[in-house]
Amino acid sequence: MTCPAEPRPRDAWEMRLLLAACLRPLFGGEAPAAISHPDFDWEALIRHSGDHLTTPALACALRGQAGLPDEVRAYFEALLALNGERNAQIRAAMPGLAAAINGCGATPLLLKGAAMLMGGIHADPAARVLGDIDLLVPATWIEACVAATAAIGYAPVPGHATAHHATPQLNRETGCEIELHHQPVMIHLRALLGAEEMADGARSIDCGGAIAAVPSATHLALHAIVHSELGDQNGPLARLSFRTLLDLAALARQPVPPDWQAIGERLERHGHGSIWSGIRAQLHSLLGVSIGEGPVPALPDRYRLAVVDARHRLAARIRFRAARRYHRFLAEPATMLEVLRPGWWRRRWSDLRSLANR
């Protein structure tokens, strides 16, 4: 994948390619020559990286580059310091959370960003932006765990419980928000990765005298792919999730990397071969990181079209909504009765109009 040579990318797709090229030094690549141009649009790059929650990673990638404007370097250093402080607060919250959950007879299994942070996956702990702390606990104990975390200052916040996690909770003193999960993924994706399998493959870590657990590299990678590409719709909608790609690339460089072959076989076995080939293509084309066996597929043009072609985006969204509804009907047959209600059809028509206006 060619990075734009011009200091000012012509469209949003070229900006994505430029951001990817600027992140490559994290994995042994070279920064693009465009950043040394006196007219390089640093404001646009930083704004775009912020949209993808990757500005701290961008700061780490370009930290050693010569020729950065003084104001850009100062901004990067300040941002890394602030995100480092935020992640240090999250680390400091973990012993209390783990102890509260241990008191219920359970061991919290860290998910997503919390697992990346506590597992030391990224070379610089300030590189990863975390929104909240996701913890997996046994379904039979989730109510007790919610009560235990509430007792140490985590109050329910406006949000919603889902079929796989409880209502979010926020500690207003520390600013840390948690989600207690009893399954790692949505109900219709549970065949890809279940709670028991994830817990069985985890390793225990010490949290200031309390015990927590971190998933294996394989389960971390599989969970990242399933959550981002299927749960968050990025695969069907051909959206690039740079934060997920950075997590996968960091996992690929661990002393014991994920079993990519097992991940690919599982996704293909469940009918998600295009998701697997798409992830391989994104990592190789954008970040220069190869995973899996066999020839690496080229990055499909649908990723570019999803950015520059409004009609393509609309068609992809409609296909995804239809597929998600179909899978929900399969997982929960009782919901099929909804189609007999007139209001259901009015809401679907409203959904289509809102999609068309995006």
Question: How far apart (Å, rounded) are the C-alpha atoms in residues 28 and 13?
Answer: 23
Residue 226 lies in a domain: no
Residue 224 vs residue 167, higher pLDDT: 224
Q: Say what the pLDDT of residue 232 is.
A: 83
- Identify the DSSP state of 174: T
Q: Provide the terminal-to-terminal Cα distance of the chain, rounded to the nearest Å.
A: 28
Query: Tokens 């697997």 map to which residue?
Result: 276
Residue 330 lies in a domain: yes
- Sequence length of the chain is 358
Residue 339 lies in a domain: yes
* Position 234 confidence tier, pLDDT thresholds 50, 70, 90: confident
Instruction: Encode pLDDT of 75-133 as tens digits.
Output: 999 999 999 999 999 999 999 999 999 999 999 999 999 999 999 999 999 999 998 99
CA neighbor of 187 nearest in space, from 214, 219, 161, 152: 161
Q: Say what the pLDDT of residue 355 is.
A: 47
Q: Strands, DSSP E only, in 66-223? A: 109-111, 133-136, 155-156, 169-171, 176-181, 203-207, 210-214
* Domain region containing 354: 309-358
Average pLDDT over all residues of the chain: 86
Q: Say what the pLDDT of residue 189 is.
A: 86
Picking from 4-18, 81-95, 247-261, 325-339, which range would have the lowest pLDDT averaged per residue?
325-339
* Position 162 confidence tier, pLDDT thresholds 50, 70, 90: low
Q: Say what the pLDDT of residue 231 is.
A: 87
Residue 126 lies in a domain: no
Question: How far apart (Å, rounded) are the C-alpha atoms in residues 62 and 73?
Answer: 9
Query: At a CB cut-off of 8 Å and minimum separation 6, what does 197 contact?
Result: 219
- Looking at the DSSP bridge assignments, the partners of residue 99 are none
**What tokens appear for 313 in the block?**
């985006």
Residue 348 lies in a domain: yes
CA dihedral in degrees (256, 122, 239, 258; nearest 10)? 10
Instruction: Encode pLDDT of 235-291 as tens digits.
Output: 888 888 999 999 999 999 999 999 999 999 999 999 999 999 999 999 999 999 999
Q: Say what the pLDDT of residue 28 is.
A: 93
Residue 354 vs residue 195, higher pLDDT: 195
Residue 87 lies in a domain: no
Picking from 214-223, 288-297, 314-323, which range would have the lowest pLDDT averaged per residue?
314-323
- Looking at the DSSP bridge assignments, the partners of residue 181 are 136, 165
Query: Tokens 């141009």 map to which residue?
Result: 37
CA neighbor of 179 nearest in space, from 156, 196, 202: 156
User: Is the alpha carbon torsion for 325, 326, 330, 334 positive or negative?
Assistant: positive
Picking from 67-71, 135-139, 245-249, 346-350, which range would have the lowest pLDDT averaged per residue?
346-350
Q: Say what the pLDDT of residue 341 is.
A: 63
Residue 67 lies in a domain: no
Question: How far apart (Å, rounded) are the C-alpha atoms in residues 355 and 131?
Answer: 26
Residue 338 vs residue 267, higher pLDDT: 267
Q: Say what the pLDDT of residue 330 is.
A: 60
CA neighbor of 53 nearest in space, from 189, 242, 230: 242
pTM: 0.85
Q: What are phi and psi of 133, to 5 degrees?
A: -110, 115
In sequence order, what DSSP letters do the residues of 250-297 get, joined into one string? HHHTSSS---HHHHHHHHHHTT-HHHHHHHHHHIIIII----SSSPPP
CA neighbor of 64 nearest in space, from 56, 75, 73, 52: 73
How far from 55 is each of 37, 104, 321, CA to CA, in Å? 20, 38, 31
Residue 340 lies in a domain: yes
Q: Provide the number of structural domains found in the chain.
A: 1
Question: How far apart (Å, rounded) are the C-alpha atoms in residues 236 and 234?
Answer: 6
**What tokens appear for 316 in the block?**
């992809």
